[in-house]
Amino acid sequence: MIAIVDYGMGNLRSVQKGLEKAGGKVVVTGDSNEIDAAEGVVLPGVGAFGRCMENLEHHNLVETVKHAALSGKPFLGICLGLQLLFEESAEFGPVKGLGILPGKVARFPESAELKVPHMGWNRIQKRGNPDILDGIEDGAWFYFVHSYYVVPDKERDVATVTTYGASFVSSVAKGALFACQFHPEKSSAAGLRLLKNFTRMVERKGT
């Protein structure tokens, strides 16, 4: 079973539908016991970083999410669910994050040439080869909507980069943890392949 963490924010239904289309058995839940018992965990996120952290704290899910991310079972962070894994964000801040990965979250610079938020289709370039990217071509297109991006302290955590004005980190991987700035549930064939890879990782973990 895959648990999608429900903390009152996030595009839960579209993530659920995407995972179900990929063959996953899914529950949307804010119950710590269900999240702990799941073979895989997904942390989605839409909105402001600080508000998301407040909601996680309000629902007593901070330690639950940390435990899931560090447990060794498949963990997928999507969009703000990537950013929350880091130590702090500059969005209305600095605001403290979960601190699971070392690094920070920065804002795209304003310019006449660069529209913020970064919205629409863009390519990924692989910097690593985690299992979740199996079968996804270098240069594959994914869908983005964001004004902030992660700046990891450790280069080895970087899985993909994307160019928008300059190169930024578009996904990270560490063990069974993978988190991406793009939305796989909105990214057509490449996104579906990523979600299928994740569900297969969960299935293997559960056997």
Which residue type sits at 120?
G
Grouping H, G, I as helix, E, B as strand and the rest as coil, residue 156 is helix
What domains, with CATH codes, occur in the chain?
Answer: 2-206 (3.40.50.880)
Name the catalytic one among 39, 118, 180, 185: 185
Q: In 3D, which of 82, 79, 50, 60 has the Cα closest to residue 144? A: 79
Q: Is the pTM of this model over 0.85?
A: yes
Of the residues 39, 52, 79, 180, only one is catalytic, namely 79
Cα–chain center distance at 29? 17
Give the pair of three-digit tokens for residue 191: 């996104």
Q: Which of 91, 118, 180, 183 is catalytic?
A: 183
Give the closest residue to 179 by CA, choosing from 46, 99, 78, 68: 78
Q: What is the pLDDT of residues 121-158, one digit of tens each?
A: 999 999 988 999 999 999 999 999 999 999 999 999 99
The pLDDT of residue 94 is 92
Q: What is the pLDDT of residue 95?
A: 95
Spell out, as residue ranges, where the chain has pLDDT lower than 50.
none
Q: Is 183 a catalytic residue?
A: yes
Helix/strand/coil for 37: helix
Examine the residue annotation and report whether 88 is marked as an active-site residue of this protein: no
146 catalytic, yes or no?
no
